Amino acid sequence: MGRRVDDRWLFRGLDLSVAGGDVLVVRGPSGCGKTCLLRLLAWLDAPDEGRVTLGERGPADIGAPWWRRRVAYVPQTPPALQGTPAEFLARVGTFRTGNARRDPVGIAEGWGLPPSTWDQPWSRLSGGERQRALLALGLCGDPEVLLLDEPTSALDDEATAAVEATLSGRTAVWVTHDAAQADRVATNVLELGTP
Amino acid sequence: MNGPLELGWMQLAGAAALLLLNAGLSVALRLGLERTIAVAAVRAAAQLALLGLVLESIFGWDRWEPVAGWCFLMIVLAARAGVRRSKRRYTGIDSVGFVALAVAGGSTAWLATTVLIGVEPWWAPRYLIPLLGMILGNALTGISLGLDRCLQELDEGAERVDLALALGATRSEAARPVAAEALRAGMIPILNSMTVVGLVTIPGMMTGQLLGGVDPGTAARYQLLILFLIAAATAAGTGLAVFGSLRALFDDQHRLRRERISLR
């Protein structure tokens, strides 16, 4: 796979595969294309060359929204959203692809996020609360592959350990700066260099 | 009913002399606007004199072709003005604006002359041209506000749209809040002006009819007709422009193509 930004290649000739249950940790300096790689895998951006597949089939075969339900990208922090996480969850439930197979409120409660948090406006939540709510939203469709962008960057050690425990055994491409976390969760490591 | 009082060139020259007040103010306070005032006055005079001449010939010919040509020109100019007011653009925005105004303005003006007023023939320029002009002039405001909000939401709010897509939304599901915001922005001005009309302002068209000797009841009914037509055309035009823009800025793989939006 390759991705160009303006006239230069961010990366090129990248060929990777992740087996079921594996966690591929992606590391590298800021601006090397880690987030960009996750967005390509989620089919939110188009690769300039190459393709992505799940088994034999690509996003165009199964339909991009259905692809994203199975290969779920969770951004590092949620954008500025109106309303509450509970309202956002209700909206996700109206999507044609959206039947929640897991209860995100219950998942997040296991990470120390009380259910009452879901009825607070996003703007009143701390960074750590937002991050856990968002990650739980990403898990509620029970995706086959998770694309995680620094999923615990705003969490303390206890919550981080709880999140890692929930995610263990799941197939993931996991971007992290935290070397200790990489050692704990990685089955493979991809180092991206400066372009 | 009285006919309009004749307004001659001498009286008009007298009114133009009032502009000396603007010029005097500009000179006294060093606003540096003398040139602008002069240019604006000359432009207004030239444009309206030209309009008078053109309409006189179009009214006189009694053929539909020049009426159609003039209406086409009005739509082109209105679409350009509407699209240019938005801070962002994308390739194809001009045609989206044109189609939106042509369909929304054209159909409401046609509805007015055929069904509502019942003019024979329906394209009679004395009715069609001023009606279309009023509709376009107002609908273009709605379209430009709607387009501006739509492009702003897709550009600055791209992360919100992407988050919905990442959680499995189709492009129409992801774009729905954007469309709602844009439509609201486009329709609010005309709704606002409908609530204060007659209390604060006597609208331009009603003023014109009153000066032209039409009785106030008829003038008020015509004004109401125009307001309703404008509201309908604004809703339809804004909807079409926003829908067309969303079509252009999402691809068939349900991706938001933010890079297609550029700031002017």
> Could you report the per-residue pLDDT of B234-259, keeping only the tens digit for each?
999 999 999 999 999 999 999 999 99
Q: Write down the pLDDT at residue B162.
A: 95
Kindly report the CATH number assigned to the domain that includes residue A126: 3.40.50.300
Q: Tell me: the pLDDT tens digits for B35-92?
A: 888 898 899 999 999 999 999 999 998 899 999 999 999 999 999 998 988 899 999 9
For chain A, the straight-line distance linking the first and the last C-alpha, in angstroms and rounded, comes to 15
Contact flag B164-A91 (C-beta cutoff 8 Å): yes
Q: Write down the pLDDT at residue B1.
A: 46
In a domain, A34, yes or no: no
Question: Which segments in chain A show pLDDT lower than 70?
Answer: 1-7, 194-195
A85 touches chain B (CB under 8 A): no
Tokens standing for A185?
Answer: 């969760």
Confidence (pTM):
0.86
Number of Cβ pairs closer than 8 Å across A and B? 72
Residues B64, B113: Cα–Cα separation, whole Å = 14
Residues A10, A37: Cα–Cα separation, whole Å = 10
In a domain, A187, yes or no: no
Contacts of B165 in chain A (CB under 8 A): 44, 64-65, 68
User: Which residue does chain B place closest to A69, by CA atoms?
Assistant: B168
Contact between A73 and A41 (Cβ < 8 Å):
yes
In a domain, A194, yes or no: no
Q: Write down the pLDDT at residue B65.
A: 93
Residue closest to B66 by CA, chosen among B53, B47, B80: B53
B21 touches chain A (CB under 8 A): no
Mean pLDDT of chain B: 91
In a domain, A57, yes or no: no
Nearest CA to CA, how far is A15 from chain B (Å)? Answer: 22
Nearest CA to CA, how far is A77 from chain B (Å)? Answer: 10
- B31 pLDDT more than 50: yes
In a domain, A75, yes or no: yes
B170 touches chain A (CB under 8 A): yes
How many structural domains compose chain A? Answer: 1
In a domain, A3, yes or no: no
In a domain, A1, yes or no: no
Nearest to B169 among A43, A95, A138 (CB): A95
Q: What is the amino acid identity at position B120? A: E
Residues B142, B145: Cα–Cα separation, whole Å = 5
Q: Write down the pLDDT at residue A137.
A: 93
Q: Tell me: the pLDDT tens digits for A153-170?
A: 999 999 999 999 999 889
Percent of chain B surpassing pLDDT 70:
99
A16 touches chain B (CB under 8 A): no
Contacts of B170 in chain A (CB under 8 A): 65, 95-97
Element (H, E) at B15: helix B9-17
B98 — pLDDT class (breaks 50, 70, 90): very high
Neighbour-count burial of B174, counting CB atoms closer than 10 A to its CB (0-12 exposed, 13-18 middle, 19+ buried)? buried
In a domain, A91, yes or no: yes
B160 touches chain A (CB under 8 A): yes
B3 — pLDDT class (breaks 50, 70, 90): low
Contacts of B259 in chain A (CB under 8 A): none
- What DSSP state is assigned to residue B4? P
Q: Write down the pLDDT at residue B188.
A: 94
Cβ burial B97-127 (10 Å sphere, 16+ → b, else e): bbbbbbebbbebbebbbeeebeeeebbbbeb
Range(s) of the domain holding residue A163: 21-27+64-179
